[in-house]
């Protein structure tokens, strides 16, 4: 596709359930990032994939969060046993390695009730 | 660690010039980014400064002073569509587009 695609655009889930968020980066972009944006907060880095290297998970807030990137393209962010504080917009971005500036998707708005 | 400070809100008039300031503290400097984010939309990349001075790109310019830990985004000939949040960001350890962002400056352009 022409841009970074994320699905679903909105997700409402019950506390304690697991959720999976999907990101389809721009074709050819080997760098992929996940961020989250909570109300009134700045974007918070979660995890970074670069090619076939081991991901940089330094931003994941707890072990309930994990992410995979299959075949160097599509990525899935999984949140297990969701909590209300996980409610946020989860944004995915991609870029060419070393190129300043990433392209963001529209995000998935997650609401945990 | 990194710390970024920028004003929460600004208001300006259509056709005018506005300067949005950002101060930062980093353990190592690897450039400074500005992004624009309209309400409910994805952030879009505006500029990247790694050297001191002013970089001009159409109506938008970005300035950096590394010795002062200071940057600003200058918007000229303001248009209503420039109403958005402007995000200042610096790279985390590991660099690239792995960034820490400020909370953003909400700019409102009025007639």
pLDDT band at A52 (very low <50, low <70, confident <90, very high): confident
pLDDT at A2: 79
Q: Cβ(B74)–Cβ(B60) under 8 Å?
A: yes
Question: Touching check for A106 and chain B: CB below 8 Å?
Answer: yes
Name the residue facing B98 among A42, A56, A107 (closest C-beta): A56
Contacts with A58 from chain B: Cβ below 8 Å: 92-94
pLDDT band at A1 (very low <50, low <70, confident <90, very high): low
Q: What is the pLDDT of residues A20-32, one digit of tens each?
A: 999 999 999 999 9
Mean pLDDT of chain B: 94
Contacts with B89 from chain A: Cβ below 8 Å: 43
pLDDT at B24: 95
Q: What is the pLDDT of residues B49-74, one digit of tens each?
A: 999 999 999 999 999 999 999 999 99
Q: What backbone phi and psi angles, to 5 degrees, belong to A87?
A: -60, 125
What is the SS3 assignment for B82?
Answer: helix
Q: What is the pLDDT of residues A53-102, one digit of tens each?
A: 899 999 999 999 999 998 879 999 999 999 999 999 999 999 998 889 99
pLDDT at B28: 81
């Amino acid at each position: 596709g022409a841009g970074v695609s994320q699905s679903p655009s909105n997700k409402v889930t019950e506390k304690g359930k697991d959720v999976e968020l999907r990101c389809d980066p721009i074709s050819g972009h080997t760098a992929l990032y996940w961020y989250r944006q909570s109300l009134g907060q700045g974007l918070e880095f979660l995890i970074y994939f670069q090619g076939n290297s081991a991901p940089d998970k330094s931003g994941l807030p707890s072990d309930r969060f994990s992410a995979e990137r299959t075949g160097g393209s599509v990525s899935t962010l999984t949140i297990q046993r969701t909590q209300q504080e996980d409610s946020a917009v989860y944004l995915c971005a991609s870029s060419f390695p070393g190129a300043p500036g990433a392209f963001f998707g529209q995000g998935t708005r997650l609401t945990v009730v | 660690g990194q710390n970024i400070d920028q004003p929460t809100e600004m208001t300006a008039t259509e056709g005018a010039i506005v300067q949005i300031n950002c101060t930062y503290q980093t353990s190592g400097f690897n450039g400074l980014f500005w992004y624009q984010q309209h309400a409910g939309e994805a952030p879009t990349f505006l500029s990247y400064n790694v050297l001191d001075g002013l970089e001009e790109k159409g109506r938008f310019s970005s300035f950096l002073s590394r010795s002062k830990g200071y940057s600003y985004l200058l918007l000229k000939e303001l248009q209503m569509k420039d109403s958005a949040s402007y995000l200042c960001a610096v790279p985390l350890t590991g660099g690239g587009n792995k960034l820490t962002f400020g909370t953003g400056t909400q700019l409102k352009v009025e007639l």
